[in-house]
Structure 1
């Protein structure tokens, strides 16, 4: 999943399920992921685990943003490896700000601006990722 803008780029690559041998809701929905951030002379690449259910909530939030149901969307993760906030401005530009957190406690706050067409591509890539990594198990 790639989101590019005037002064930045965010890439989220899901590499594999962390526990592919189980269909347990809590253990089977972790995804080993790689995050790449390029903003105004800062380039970082780090690994973090994301959850399928976090990505599903993010997808629903972004589609509400696309449908003009809301002007803001937020992505939070259980282990706080990545935080994202999107806000659509009246001129159609999209402000993206975020915070990357590593397991060692280091963090990077970043921001850049993109547009709705680029956001649409990102949402499509997120949908494809969710099709490749469906939620397993249930809370019940």
Structure 2
């Protein structure tokens, strides 16, 4: 199950593969998901497997929904392990300015920082893709 962030000459694909600890009863363990990240920007192609959390994805999509409804604001995807940080902020023209940072291996590996722009018309698709992922991989339990 994939979601995409697209911009001029920028392609980010995050494919959520499976739960890391599907039989755990611990909130923190059971919400880890293995994901494959693929990023293409001018001069770089990055592809690696990263552990994300369903609550991180849920927080991100909720912020995107607010930004889409209000046609302003900011949405951030913060990854606990530090593999990926993405922030999108909508300007007054409806353009979203994205900043992103990847680190692989997480915490001590190579770091890639980049920015790109996209049109707000992509938000509906991103929201739908994330909602579909969260149906298949819902946040389980409470912290």
**Same-fold status (TM-score > 0.5):** yes
Deviation, structure 1 residue 130: 0.7
**Runs of at least 5 residues in structure 2 that lack an aligned partner in the other structure:** none
Q: CA deviation at 1:12?
A: 0.7
Give the Cα separation in 2 of the matches to 1:12 and 1:90.
Answer: 28
- TM-score, normalised on structure 1? 0.92
Structure 1 unpaired stretches of 5+: none
Q: More relative contact order in 1 or in 2 (CA 8 Å, sep 6+)? A: 1
The structure 1 residue matched to 2:117, chosen from 113, 120, 123, is: 113
SS of 2:70 mapped into structure 1: coil
Aligned residue number for residue 93 of structure 2: 91
Contact kept, 8 Å, 2:72 with 2:89, in 1: the verdict is no
Mapped contact 1:54–1:75 kept (Cα < 8 A) = yes
Question: 2:64 pairs with 58, 62, 67, which one?
Answer: 62
Cα distance in 2, alignment partners of residues 70 and 46 from structure 1:
32
Match of 1:74 among 73, 76, 98: 76
- Superposition RMSD on alpha carbons, in Å? 1.4
Kindly state the Cα deviation for residue 22 of structure 1 after the two structures are TM-superposed.
2.0
Contact persistence 2:34–2:49 (CA under 8 A) = yes
Q: What is the number of residues matched between the two proteins?
A: 139
